[in-house]
Amino acid sequence: MNLRLLPWAAMALLVLVLAVWSSLPTNGVAVPAGATGPETAGGGPEIRLGPVDVRELHDGGSWNRLDADGAVYGYASRTVSAWGVTVFLGEGAAFAGTIVRAPRAAWDLDGKTIRFSEGCRAERRGGWTGEFSPATLDLAGSVLRVPGPARIEGPGVSVQGKNLAWEWVEGKITLESTRSRLSPAMGRGRKG
């Protein structure tokens, strides 16, 4: 062997030893950076993930997407429990443009629901927003249900109440025990 290649061969051997040594099992469990607590996905085998992008594809070409800072996928329960969550509803469909943000969420992939145990905030094209107490997003029925307090604001209107059902495909919102505030619109030629 050429003497000039000896340092390179030694370096390659060192890299190989380090790679094998780092792949040996340890007594610890890998947790994504930024994980704040013992997040679980309902028992059984779990897969812990760092930044996540989960998509539910539909036959018509549209999809729902969940982005999160981190998540745990429960293999047996088919759930994704995540933190730092943003859900994009109906991407690629005519009703796209609804975004839901929450500190934590649990997506039941079989039941087609996403639970926001710490509440959530929704935004919709056209300036509509909502702030909700703990809520459940029914993806199959295209409805956000909030049994507790909820507030919705849009151009010229603000409504508060409880027991909200927001059907975003139909464009229908129902709310009980409402209090509302209407802002007068400035029409053409009208002064004050």
Q: How far apart are CA 3 and CA 27, in angstroms?
A: 42
Q: Which contacts (CB < 8 Å, 24+ apart) does range 62-70 have?
A: 62/90, 62/91, 62/92, 62/93, 62/96, 63/91, 63/92, 64/88, 64/89, 64/90, 64/91, 64/139, 65/91, 66/105, 66/107, 66/114, 68/105, 69/34, 70/32, 70/34, 70/35, 70/39
Residue carrying structure tokens 């994980």 = 35
Range of the domain at 119: 46-182
Quick check: 154 and 126 in contact, CB under 8 A? yes
In a domain, residue 106? The reply is: yes
Q: What is the pLDDT of residues 101-113, one digit of tens each?
A: 999 999 898 888 9
* Beta-bridge partners for 101: 86, 121
In a domain, residue 6? The reply is: no
Alpha carbon of residue 156 to chain centroid: 29
Is pTM beyond 0.75? Reply is no
In a domain, residue 35? The reply is: no
Report angle CA 130, 103, 136 to the nearest 5 degrees: 55
In a domain, residue 8? The reply is: no
pLDDT band at 5 (very low <50, low <70, confident <90, very high): low
Q: What is the mean pLDDT of residues 29-36?
A: 48
The pLDDT mean for the chain works out to 79
Q: What is the pLDDT of residues 126-168, one digit of tens each?
A: 888 999 999 998 888 888 899 999 999 988 889 999 999 988 7
In a domain, residue 37? The reply is: no
**CATH number, position 101:** 2.60.450.10
pLDDT band at 28 (very low <50, low <70, confident <90, very high): very low
In a domain, residue 3? The reply is: no
In a domain, residue 1? The reply is: no
10 Å Cβ neighbour count for 79? 26
Q: What is the pLDDT of residues 71-95, one digit of tens each?
A: 998 888 888 899 999 988 877 666 6
Helix or strand (DSSP H, E) at 9: helix 6-23
Quick check: 120 and 83 in contact, CB under 8 A? no
How many separate domains does the chain show? 1
pLDDT of residue 119 exceeding 50, the answer is yes
Q: What is the mean pLDDT of residues 178-192?
A: 62
In a domain, residue 12? The reply is: no
